[in-house]
Structure formats: C-alpha cells, structure tokens
Amino acid sequence: MLFRSKYDWWILLIFAGFTLGNIWAIVSIFTGGGLGAWVVAIVFTPLTVFLFIPIWLRTYYQFDEDGLRIKCGLGKGIKIPYTAIISASKTRNPISSPAPSLDRIEIKFKKGSFSDTVIISPKDWQGFFEELKTKNENIEITADVKPMSKCVKLVIILLAGIPLLVIGIMIAYGEMEPAVNVSDDGIRIQAMYGLNIGFDSIDSIELIEQSMRDMRDGDSGHRANGYGGFGGTLKGHFQSSRYDSHVLFVRTNSSPTIRIERSRGGDIFISFRNGETTRAVFSEMIEAFSPK
C-alpha cells in the first residue's frame, strides 16, 4: 500500500516562488536578459528541476512485504524492516526530513546496536498508523501532538514569504516609472538602472512623436543588461541595429518618446504611460539645456 505525502501551504508557496522566478529568468534570458536574470536562472533552475519538482512528484511512503519504503525526490530513499520499527508518533518537529509538511510522524527504529529516527508526513496519517500496526502489532503508536510554537510558525512564514517577497519587490521596482529630476547642470534619472547625465555630455534632446516600438520599426533589439517587465516596460542597457547601444526608460507602446543624444555612453530614451507627462518632462529638459 502506498501513502502520498501531505504538502503544507508554505511549501507550496516556496515551490511557486522558485518556479515563477525561474520562468521569469528563463524568459528574460531568451529575450536578451542581463546579469540579474542569469544569476536567478543559475540559482533557481537547478533547485526547481532537481529538488522541488522531484519532491512534488516523488515523495511517498510504501508498505512493501518486508518493510516500509520511504522515498523523497531523486534520492535513493530508505527501507526499514517492520521488525526494526520501535514506535511511531505524531510530531511538529521542523527538522529537515522527507516530509514536506509539519503534520508529521516520527518513526523510531533499530539500526544495528543503536536506534535512529526518520520523520515523514503521510496525508492520511490515520490510515498509515492502521496499516503500520498490521505489519507489526508491537509498534508503539502515539497520535497526540503538541501545538506548534509561535516561533516555529514565524520561521515558516518567513521561509515561505521571502522568495515571493523578493520577486515581488523586483517586479514592483522594475515597473515603477522613472523619476526625472532636471537641474542646472544635468539630468538625474531615478529608477532601476538609473543614472546621472551631465549637460556637458549631451549633444541634443528631441521629442519624437512615436512610441519606442514604432521607432525600432520591428527591430525589438535585445538586452545587454536590462529589465523587461509587463506591459512593455523596458529599463537598462539595450542594443538594436538601428540605435546600436542605448539606454531605455520606456513604455514601448507609449508616445511620444524623449531621445537624449550623447557624445558617449549611448543615447537615452524616456517615455511615460501618460504622454502629457513625457511632454512636460521634455519641456523642463529643454528649458534647462543649453546646447554646446
């Protein structure tokens, strides 16, 4: 008889966070993602493919003829003879084990001249106890369990929430429109991949009555080191056949677009969701800028 493992909500959140992060990184890389996407992919892909997916698909506890087989993920697993099992009791012990739930059973068994324990989390723990008792009626069964402490609950919430929180912060920051501050000596763009531009490095500033998508004329270009999010948000360093190396702070479907032509470092393009905001920022730039 085979018993599938139970999966707690916090485990599912961790799985979801790593899976979504992995998908985002892979999509970003295939569309020219920068260093950040590569780092996330290098970390998340092995964890997702070799740890989380196998744990999800291959965690179970099987009653064979000669013993209890415990399997979790890609590992070989263990097999405990029924005659070696001393006791089985409910527990909330959060120690690392082949149990993706804190609704757990601790099995104590003989191992040579010593004893050892393993913790599992069958979904049907009552049925598991009943089946275990039929294999060896001398096994001591304890179904009572102490409530989980507040400290353990807090640790679980943090572990579950951190991956999703990090991804959420990255996306929220990437989607924020840039704050453009114009001073007497230059322009400061505050955003992901933001930068300061001195007027002495600017050749010209123009307002183009087109969106970035139209300006590229079908050439989507690729990211050298940038962010490509939802709704056509592009930020950072990009390359295309038309504009070569350039820096974007744009909504690709929004027009007009500000183009700042520089003598070095590549041109800069800026556009906001609201075209009137783009025009107002352009007017402020022109008022402060004195061509060389």
Q: What is the pLDDT of residues 228-259, one digit of tens each?
A: 766 678 888 888 777 788 999 998 889 999 99
Non-local (6+) Cβ contacts of 105 within 8 A are 88, 89, 90, 91, 119, 120, 121, 122, 125, 128, 129
**Where a domain ends, among 137, 169, 201?**
169
Mark whether 120 and 222 lie in a shared domain.
no
Computed over its alpha carbons, how large is the radius of gyration of the chain? Answer: 29
Give the amino acid at 50: F
Give the side-chain half-sphere CA count within 13 A for 65. 0
Place of tokens 């579950």: 160
Peptide bond just before 256 cis, omega within 30 deg:
yes
* pTM given for the model: 0.57
Angle, in degrees to the nearest 10, between helices 35-47 and 9-30: 140
Nearest CA to 117 among 102, 95, 137? 95
Integer Cα distance of 46 and 180 in angstroms: 40
The residue length of the chain stands at 292
Q: What single DSSP character describes residue 292? A: -
pLDDT for position 178 = 94
Mark whether 45 and 134 lie in a shared domain.
yes
Mark whether 236 and 141 lie in a shared domain.
no
**Where a domain ends, among 141, 169, 197?**
169
pLDDT single digits (tens) 37-70: 777 788 888 888 888 888 888 899 999 999 999 9
| Residue ranges making up the domain that contains 211 | 179-288
**Where a domain ends, among 131, 151, 169?**
169
Provide the number of structural domains found in the chain.
Answer: 2
